[in-house]
Structure formats: structure tokens, C-alpha cells
Structure 1
Amino acid sequence: MTVTHPIGLSAPTLADPVIAEAAARFVAARRSAAGLADFPGPLPADLATAYAIQATATAAWPDEVAGWKVARVPPALEETLGAMRYIGPIFARTVSAADGGPLSFPVIPGGFGAVEAEFAVRIAADAPADKLDYSPAEAAAFIAAVHAAIEVAGGPLAPVNTLGPTASTSVFGNNTGLIVGEEIVGGVEGADALRAEVLIDGQSVGVGSAAKLPGGIAAAVAVALSMAVRLGRPLKAGQWVSTGALTGVHSIAIGQQARVTFTGLAPMSGTAVAAGATA
């Protein structure tokens, strides 16, 4: 497996063979829907190395990238890692639309699964391949629409949440899929006025809003634009950016039910199911 080195980041602190082995293990585990009890090899100490593992695994995955999820780096680690957020790929075959019917949230047996209430942005135009940095104001021009959404987080690595953001970044950004709900009238301003709530098995586990996103929705899109091009995959018109958890990361086990609501919109409900192997 050839290692992919992101553009404009510091050199990885793990050797290419170690990066390639971790990426290959993540690809194999996700393809076979088999959990991993431990990180396969040394845990990256920095995001540059984690992104190298992610990019190498993404290049080997048999699907197109349809967008990116954005997630917070815990505040206590921001200075150490030099970032407030990280991103991970959302693959085309894992994007679905909420149509009012029951949803399915795939969870790899022996891995990690979670649901997150998020705002998903549909990208308005192709991003240039030679621009590496974006301000929130520049990113706002790429927002075609904002939708209520559910990020189905997780993957094969069972202890990913306890291992931290370098583990999450490495293992496909800890993303399993994106469920796109209703378009929000008023775009970003309309979304800013909404409150989201997540219930697991009928119990409320979190309430929140765009106020939980530092700098707001446009700031999250700016990070996705900047990092996607550094990963050699500039955002394209029609792709998605899932902008970050509004109420928290809510673990879900196979068989549990989740209900996600946004003020004034139809609720989105479904059940966690065992993920199957990928052809």
C-alpha cells in the first residue's frame, strides 16, 4: 500500500511502513465489518501522521468521497495538536436521505457506533485545488444549503473515543455515514435559530444548537475546505460537509433506537443494526 502524504502539513512522525500497515488494517476491518480491540500499531502523536493514515486508507477504499465530517479536538488538546477541528471522509454509498421512514444506523460488531445531531452543508461550487486556507467569510460563499442531519459515527476501532482525536482521524475520521434530513429555511441564519435533541431508547441524552460549534457553521466549512485540499481532494459542488456534533457524541449499541429532533422539523428515528461486510 502506497502511503499518501498530505500537502502542507508537517512530516509524519511514524515511518511509511508503519502508516501503511495501520491503514491496511483499518481497510480490512471495515471491509469485513470486524471490530478492533486496539489501535493497530503505535498511536499517532500528531494529526499529520493521523491524516497520512487516513489518506492512505481512503485511497484504498472502494468508494468515492462524497464529502467530509468535521469534529472537535478536545480543548485540552488543541495546543498540543495545533488544531481545533479535524475532518474525515464521508463515502458516497454511506450517504442517505431521511424520507420520514425508519432509519438504520450501521454499527460494526466489536467496534464503535454513535449518532450525532448535525447540520450538513451542501457545497455550492468546486473549490480551487491550489488554495490551502479559508476564512469563515470565504467559506460562507461555498454554502449552497444547510440541512438537518445525523452523522452515523464510528467504525471498527472499539476504543476510538478513549484514544482521542488522532485515533479518530486515522480510522476514516470515525465516520460510518451521513443521513441528510430537511433543508433548513434561511440557510445558516435559519439553522442558528434551531435546537437539536437526541434520544436513545426514549431517554434524552443531549440538547444543543449551532452555539456548540466554535465560530459557527461557516468556520467548520472553512476547516473542511482547507483540509480537504491538503488531503488532495478539494471539495466539489454537491458534496457534503457535516459540521460537527450539536448535542454531543452519543454511543449506540446494536438494537438500540435513536430519535433526533430539530425545532419545527420532522423527527428522524431509527435503529442501530449490525454493519455488513463491504464488497
Structure 2
Amino acid sequence: MTVTHPIGLSAPTLADPVIAEAAARFVAARRGATGLAGFPGPLPADLATAYAIQATATASWPDEVAGWKVARVPPALEEALGAIRFIGPVFAGTVVLSGGGPLSFPVIAGGFGAVEAEFAVRIAADAPADKLDYSPAEAAAFIDAVHAAIEVAGGPLAPVNDLGPTASTAVFGNNTGLIVGEEIVGAVEGADVLRAEVLIDGQSVGVGSAAKLPGGIPAAVAVALGMAARLGRPLKAGQWVSTGALTGVHSIAIGQEARICFTGLAPMTGTAVAAAPAG
């Protein structure tokens, strides 16, 4: 497996064979829908190394990238990691357009699964491959529409949340899929006034809004635009950016039901199911 090195980041602190082995283990575990009890090899100490593992695994995955999820680096780690957000790939085969019916949230048995209420941005135009940094104002020009959404988080690595953001970044960004709900009237301004709530098995587990996103939706899109270009996959028109958890990361086990509600919109409801091996 050839290691992919992101553009404009510091050199990874793990050797290429170690990076390749971790990426191969993640690809095999996701394809086989089998859990991993621990990180396969040394845990990356920095995001540059974690992104190298992610990019190497993504290059070996048999599906196209349809967008990116954006997640928060815990504030206590922002200075050490030099970032407040990280991103991960959303593959085309995992994007679902919610039509109001019951949904399924795939969870790898022995791995980690979660649901998150998010806003998903549809990208308006192809981003230049050579632009690696964006301001929120520049990113706002790439926002074509904003939708209510659910990120189906998780993957094969069972202790991913305990291991922290470098582990989440490395293991495909800790993303399993994206469910795109209703388009929000007023785009960013309309989304900013909405309230989201997540219920699991009928119990409320989190309430929040765009106020939970540092700098708001455009700031999250700015990170996705810049990092996607650094990973050699600049965003394209029609792709998606899931902009971050509004109410928290809510673990879900196979068989549990989740209901995600946004102010004035039809709720999205589904059940966690065992993920099937990928073809």
C-alpha cells in the first residue's frame, strides 16, 4: 500500500510502513465489518500522521468520496494539535437522502457507532486544487444550500472516542455515513435559528444549535475546503460537508432507535443495524 502524504502539513512522525499497516488494517476491518479492540500500531501523536493514515486508507477504499465530515478537536487539545477541527471522508455509497421514512444507521459489531444532529452543506462550485486555506467569508461563497442532516459516526475502532481526535482522524475520520434531510429555507441564516434535539430509545440525549460550531457553519466549511485540498481531493460542486455535531456525539448500539428533530422540520427516525461487509 503506497502512503499518501498530505500537502502543506508537517512530516508524519511515524514511518511509512507503520502508516501503511495501520491504513491496511482499517480498510480490512471496515470491509469485513469487524471490530478492532485497539489502535493497530502506535497511536498518532499529531494530525499530520493521522491524516497520512486516513489518506492512505481512503485511496484504497473502493468508493468515491462524496464529501467530508468536520468534527471538533476537544478544546484541551487544540494547542497541542494546532487545530480546532479535523475532517474525514464521506463515501458516495453511504450518503442517503431522507425521504421521511424509517432510516437505518449501520454499526460495526465490536466497533463504535453514534448519531449526530448536523447541518450538511451542498457545495456550489469546484474548489481550486491549489488553494489550501480559506477564511469563513471565502468559504461562504461555496455554500449552495444547507440541509438538516444526521452524521452516522463510527467505524471498526471500538475505543475511538477514548483515544481522541488523532485516532478519529486516522480511521476514515470516524464516519460511517451521512443522511441528508430537508433543505433549510434561508441557508446559513435559516440554520442559525434552528434548534436540534436527539433522542435515543425515546430519551433526550442532547439539545443544541449552530452556536455549538465555533465560527458557525462557514468556518466549518472553510476547514473542509482547505484540508480536502491538502489531502489532494478538493471539494467539487454537488459534494457535501457535514459541519459538526450540534448536540454532541451520541453512542448508539445495534437495535436502538434514534430520533433527530430540528425546529419546524419533520423528525428523522431510524434504527441502528449491524453493518454488512463491503463488497
TM range (shorter): over 0.9
Q: What is aligned with 1:49?
A: 49
**For 1:159 and 1:183, how far apart are their aligned partners in 2?**
34
Report the CA distance between 1:141 and its aligned residue.
Answer: 0.1
Q: CA deviation at 1:119?
A: 0.1
Per the alignment, residue 245 of structure 1 pairs with: 245
Rounded to whole Å, the distance in 1 between the matches of 2:46 and 2:189 is 35
Cα distance between partner residues in 1 of 2:130 and 2:202: 48
Secondary structure at 1:222 match in 2: helix
For residue 277 of structure 2, what is the aligned residue in structure 1? Answer: 277
Equivalent residue for 2:258? 258
Aligned position for 1:10: 10
What CA distance in whole angstroms lies between the structure 2 residues aligned with 1:213 and 1:264?
21
Q: How does 1:44-83 map to 2 (within 5 A)?
A: 44-83=44-83
The TM-score with structure 2 as length reference comes to 1.00
Aligned to 1:35: 35
* Cα offset, 1:182, TM superposition: 0.1
Which residue in 2 is equivalent to 1:189?
189
- Consecutive unaligned residues of structure 2, counting only runs of 5 or more, are none
Q: Deviations over 1:197-247 (max 9, x none)?
A: 000000000000000000000000000000000000000000000000000
Provide the residue aligned with 2:207 in structure 1.
207
Cα deviation digits, residues 64-99 of structure 1 (max 9, x gap): 000000000000000000000000000000000111
1:49 partner amino acid: T
Per the alignment, residue 113 of structure 1 pairs with 113
Letter in 2 for 1:23: A
The alpha carbon displacement at 1:10 in A equals 0.1
For residue 180 of structure 1, what is the aligned residue in structure 2? 180
Instruction: Give SS of 1:78's match.
Output: helix
The one-letter code sitting in structure 1 at the alignment partner of 2:86 is: Y
Instruction: Classify the secondary structure of the residue corresponding to 1:130.
Output: coil
C-alpha separation in 2, matches of 1:210 and 1:231: 27
Structure 2 residue aligned with 1:24: 24
Question: Secondary structure of 1:190's match?
Answer: helix
Which residue number corresponds to residue 149 of structure 1? 149
State the 1:17 CA deviation.
0.1
Q: How far 1:20 moved relative to its partner?
A: 0.0
Q: CA deviation at 1:36?
A: 0.1
- 1:268 alignment counterpart: 268
Once residues 271 and 180 of structure 1 are traced to their aligned partners in structure 2, the CA distance between those partners, rounded to angstroms, is: 16
Matched, 1:97 2:102: no
Cα deviation for residue 171 of structure 1 reads: 0.1
Matched position secondary structure for 1:26 = helix
TM-score by length of 1: 1.00
Identity of aligned residues (%): 89
Give the aligned partner of residue 228 of structure 1.
Answer: 228
- Could you tell me how far apart the structure 2 residues matched to 1:75 and 1:271 are? 32
Query: How much does 1:9 deviate?
Result: 0.1
Match of 2:88 in 1: 88
The number of residue pairs the alignment matches comes to 279
Q: What is the alpha-carbon root mean square deviation over aligned residues?
A: 0.2
CA distance in structure 2 between the partners assigned to 1:150 and 1:41 by the alignment: 31
CA shift digits 1:162-211 (9 cap, x unpaired): 00000000000000000000000000000000000000000000000000
User: Could you tell me how far apart the structure 2 residues matched to 1:251 and 1:194 are?
Assistant: 23
For residues 54 and 97 of structure 1, what CA distance do their matches in structure 2 show?
26
- Once residues 54 and 119 of structure 1 are traced to their aligned partners in structure 2, the CA distance between those partners, rounded to angstroms, is 23
Aligned to 1:159: 159
Q: Give the letter aligned to residue 28 of structure 1.
A: A
Partner AA of 2:50 in structure 1: A
Structure 1 counterpart of 2:157, one-letter code:
L
Give the Cα separation in 2 of the matches to 1:41 and 1:178.
28
**Partner Cα distance (1:107, 1:132) in 2:** 33
Distance 1:132 1:271 in 2: 38
The amino acid of 1:125's aligned partner reads A
